[in-house]
Amino acid sequence: MLTHIKQWLEPPHFEGDEEKNRVARLMNTLGLYFALLLAAAAAIFIPFFATDKIAAGIIIAILTMLYIVSRYLVNRGQLKLGGSIIVFGAWAIFQGMAFFSGGVNSPVSITVVAMSIIIGLLIDITVGSVIVLLSILVELGLAILQTNQYPLPQILHFTPLATWFWFTLALGFVYGTVNVVTRNLQSALNSAHKENERRKNLEDQLRYQSSHDVLTGIYNRLFFSAELERLERSREFPISFVIVDVDGLKIINDTQGHTKGDELLQHTASVLRSVFRDGDVVARIGGDEFAVLLPATDSATMEQIVSRVKERLVEEIFKHPDMSVKLSLGASTAEKGTVVESFKLADQRMYADKAAHKSNKSYSSTS
């Protein structure tokens, strides 16, 4: 039983919708105040109005049903409808408290004004306007009945209906003003949020462009150099390097145009990305030169990776004969010493491999 009561009193949770959760928490708080006021009204008004216990009991019963229905709707995610019923019931209770206790000169009036402010914060202008209009219509109807000397229940003779009417208009004005100000503030906050998102996206874009090559989408020389310096300071060995140079790029640019050369560079970057691991830093460090930094990679693993690169190049020749990638490779591993020296050694081996290609001689890029 206690578990069910606890679940009933706690606000519902809607996964992935924080705005809906925020409104649900506000509605839940307002609903709990509604329940407390309802209990207070039942305890005070029914015994107090000895001659109108039936009328007071009917009002309390109607408000109780409104509360139960509203809680059910809010817990089922119908926040607008359930919240509107909660606000309508709470408005009625506060109006009644102000009316029975003397109207605008009563300390209860301050509570009613606070209620109007809460309504303005929670409920949109349409629902709030309907609530105010219904209150005015009820009061006008009662005034007409009183003018025609229709016998009204005793509980409706505590405050003049005209005073109650103007009091409701004032509360409606407070509600409307708060609602407009709240919506304007919400609009301003939304605009500020969108501007912050736009600036964040721009910063992310600039950050990406500062670390990535525009043509190929892989890391650029600036980022690679920064990683090289970081590893030089960290002394986290072993560290391996693979230097790659695209053979014949100048000839392709001169004979087939720079567009074809750019396509070859993009294809080369795609091949390298597919072979190396996610944690490896694949970068374009020159016009036709690429470099790969392999953290925590010893020489044996590095040689296996270079072999995979060569196997992938053979596959590419068969798959894309019009876009066959011919590369010169050089690799080295820093088990100790300086990282920069190992990088230079890989670069030297790449140039030696390129010279061997030109003379059609065999050369081991890892020797």
Q: DSSP alpha helices (H): ranges in 320-363? A: 339-358
Q: Answer yes or no: do 229 and 153 share one domain.
A: no
Residue 244 phi, psi dihedral angles, 5° rounding: -130, 135
Q: Answer yes or no: do 119 and 231 share one domain.
A: no
* pTM, full prediction: 0.52
Question: Average pLDDT, stretch 221-230?
Answer: 89
**Beta bridge partners of residue 331, listed in sequence order:** 242
Segment 42-68, tens digit of pLDDT: 666 666 555 556 666 777 777 778 778
Number of folded domains that form the chain: 2
Higher confidence at residue 122 or residue 256?
A: 256
Q: Answer yes or no: do 195 and 238 share one domain.
A: no
Q: Answer yes or no: do 148 and 13 share one domain.
A: yes
Q: Answer yes or no: do 10 and 155 share one domain.
A: yes
Interatomic CA distance for residues 340 and 209, integer angstroms: 25
Q: Answer yes or no: do 224 and 326 share one domain.
A: yes
Segment 260-283, tens digit of pLDDT: 889 889 988 988 888 888 889 999
CA distance to 8, 9, 10, 27, per residue, from 3 (Å): 9, 10, 11, 21
Range of the domain at 43: 2-199
Question: Average pLDDT, stretch 226-250?
Answer: 85
Q: Answer yes or no: do 225 and 195 share one domain.
A: no
Q: Answer yes or no: do 47 and 160 share one domain.
A: yes
**Beta bridge partners of residue 290, listed in sequence order:** 244, 284
365 domain residue, yes or no = no
Segment 321-366, tens digit of pLDDT: 766 678 889 999 988 777 888 889 999 999 998 888 777 644 444 4
209 domain residue, yes or no = no
Q: Answer yes or no: do 236 and 352 share one domain.
A: yes
